Structure 1
Amino acid sequence: IERAEQEGKDFRRDFSLQIAVTAGEMLTAASRNRLEEDYGILVRQFLATADVGGIAYECGEKNGMHFADYRVIEVVDPETGKQLGPGQVGEVVVTLLENPVYPLIRFGTGDLSYYEEEPCPCGRTSPRLMKLVGRVDQVTKVRGMFIHPSQVEEVIAAFPEIQTAQAVVKREQDRDKLTFCAVLAEPASQEGLASTLQERIRAVLKLRADVTFVSENDLQEVEKRILDLRKWD
């Protein structure tokens, strides 16, 4: 689309693309809105891997991805493999027995998601993966709770005055310490913002955290939303 616009074309007028199926990475609300509202493209999300094929698909309600048929789909604790219940974030694993030569037993996709079991307004009654929230290799466990980069981004999204932020995990006196390091887009009142930010962090991450305001140069490995500095002897 961007290439077409650079060449002076009107995408709506010059192309007949009406439906787009996205897969391979998380579909953000901003990306969906841009495609649907600016270009008139109907967007549907699909979860698949090369080994398994289709895992889950989105219907017209755009309210999660329905489990595909003929597969056993679970959401499990990435560390223990224990099956998790509705609303709990874990790794999506798939069992596929269609091929007797190459069966897949609890194949780990590496994708983090959670599911709900309520029937969809479309009429289907299968469970739905509500959204992809990250990858297993991006997960950090703090005080028994898993946190992932998309949660940090969710916190930031509620504060336009915050340019970027990083959750830093340290180990002090045999306890995990979580500090939310925020970079302000421009000078602002930090006192009131800090307390509001702490409330938002607790609501999204389900953890208490200290808040500190820093410059972008103070952040280590700035590309990481979560920086784990714990050392285990």
Structure 2
Amino acid sequence: MEQLPGAVGISRLSVYDSLAPDGLLGGTPHMHLTCSEGYVVTAGEGVVQTLSGQGYQETPLRPGTVAWFPPGTVHRLVNQGGLQIVVVMQNSGLPEAGDAVLTFPPDVLEDPAAYANAATLPEGGVPGTDLGAAFRRRDLAVTGFLELRDAGPGELKAFHEAAARLIAPKLPAWRERWERGALHAALETGRQLDALAAGDASHLGRGGISALPAPSEHGRHGMCGLLDTYHVTAA
């Protein structure tokens, strides 16, 4: 099985529709450190709240909307009715390996053991496990997000720095995933360009098609909602 184009990851997301502490329905605020993320809205309505160097913003989400953002953007999905999204993630495998930090309050964020305890769902959130743990995690992150949103740019910078310290032990494994995935895909394009420049079109003879008839996993409790995930492993 070939990787997806550009070694991206794809999931279908049904955004949570339970109440958070501020009275809004939706998911868990968090930030990625090395992966851009894109949304293709397929049903329902909502907004994505973001906090970044551009300040706090709310972007409406409707069927047909495509929205995306780079690492360092804190984001929270708000469900205003049946919000469903196809999520496209850079660096397939890295998000699953922990490339996200939730906006827990500073005392939790600065304690790796407390962070892991608050962030980890029973059995990894597999279908059939208690959604209460996912909602408790969401509510703690919303509390921290609201404080961060109202605190100003200095606190956002401190959050970025705390997040970088928290994930530092994971970086060697992340680099290996990136080298096998996105970097390999980019370098392969370079090899194809070099071959064509030399008049060698032999790689075109290796064409074909790969398909996944359905997600390989249904209904996992994710940070933003219930996930149907497509797992693709390169040959």
Same fold (TM over 0.5): no
TM-score under structure 1 length normalisation: 0.24
TM-score under structure 2 length normalisation: 0.24
* Larger RCO (CA within 8 A; separation ≥ 6): 2
More strand by percentage: 1
More helix by percentage: 2
